Each structure stands twice: as structure tokens, then as C-alpha cells.
Amino acid sequence: MRVALTGAALLLVAGGAAADDAARLEALERRVNYLEDELARTRAEWHAAELRGDDSWSDRVSLSGSVELGHYGGQSDSVLDNAGYRVWDARLFLDAELGEDIRVGSKPLIRNLGLTAEWNLVRLGDVVNDVGELYVDLQGVGGSSWLNLGGTRTTA
């Protein structure tokens, strides 16, 4: 009788554990389904925002610069005989993405259109104030994954 009672108790415990496992699995499946739906909604919102063009100009344009300065000086026979601080180089850089997926009707023309510009304020210690480099980049010409074109204008 003792063995029968022990067996019955084990069956009850095992049955309760199985019910607990089934309930936990069901709760986990509900959670996974919720998260998958949330991910799909988020991706749809991102895609809709991309199609509307909700990105700001700061997402497409980068402005930076560089400056070299120092204290220069030498003896009377030196090229830099007058001691002092000088700006040796100062430039501004602009990188801009001008467009994506440019088409005529359904025909793809350009996948990405970009512009890079360098404005020289001071070069080699002299104020020059001119365009140092201007570069236009056409990626994915004609819908191709391998054909890119670029054009540049550089000052000497």
C-alpha cells in the first residue's frame, strides 16, 4: 500500500509539473508572437518613414574641418625668421548625399548621388580662399551593381 501511495503521489507531482511546463510554454509562445508582431510594426514604420523622406538634412550632410597652426620662428637667415604663431593650413570639408534611387519612370538611373567638397581657407601659410576639390559620385549607374562614375575638380 505504501508503494501504491508513493506512486500515486509521484504521478500527481509529475502531472502538476507537466501542467506548469505547458503553461510556461504557452506564455513564452505568446511573448514570442508579441515580439515578432512588434518587430514587424517597427520595420513597417521605418520603411514608411524612408518612403516619406522623414530624414533630416543632418542625416545626409556632414560638415567638418581641419586646422594646422603652430609657433614658427628661426634665426635671421631662416625662411621663418619672424617668430610667432601662424595658421599653416585651414580647410572645410562637406560630404553630402544628394539623392537615392533616382529613376525616370521605372528605369533606374543612379542608385546614389553624392558630393564631396573641400574649401581651402589657408594653404601652406597663405590665405587662398578657394575650392580645393569638388567631387561628384554617381553609384549604380543604370541600375548596375558594378558601374560607378565620378568627376572631380582639383586646384593645383
The pLDDT score that the predictor gives to residue 94 is 94
Q: Classify the phi-psi angles of 115: left when phi > 0, otherwise alpha if psi is within -120 to 50, otherwise beta.
A: beta
Give mean pLDDT, residues 60-84: 79
C-beta separation of 67 from 86 below 8 A: no
What integer pLDDT is reported at residue 118 of this predicted model?
Answer: 93
- In terms of average pLDDT, the best of 5-9, 16-20, 36-40, 72-76 is 36-40
Residue-level pLDDT at 10: 57
- Per this entry, what is the length of the chain? 156
Domain ranges, ordered by start, for the chain:
1-54, 57-154
Q: Return d(Cα 96, Cα 56) in angstroms, integer.
A: 12
Q: Please report which confidence band the pLDDT of residue 142 belongs to, taking 50, 70 and 90 as the band edges.
A: confident
User: Does residue 66 contact residue 72 with C-beta atoms inside 8 Å?
Assistant: no
Q: Which residue has the cell 631662416?
A: 78
Asked if the model's pLDDT at residue 55 lies above 80, the reply is: no
pLDDT of residue 83: 67
Residues 6+ apart with CB under 8 A from 91: 65, 66, 118, 119, 120, 121, 123, 132
The pLDDT of 23-35, averaged and rounded, is: 89
- With cell 508513493, the residue in question is 6
Give pTM, 2 decimals: 0.53
What pLDDT was estimated at residue 96? Answer: 93
List the grid coordinates of 139: 553609384
Share of the chain above pLDDT 90, in %: 16
Mean pLDDT in residue range 146-150: 84
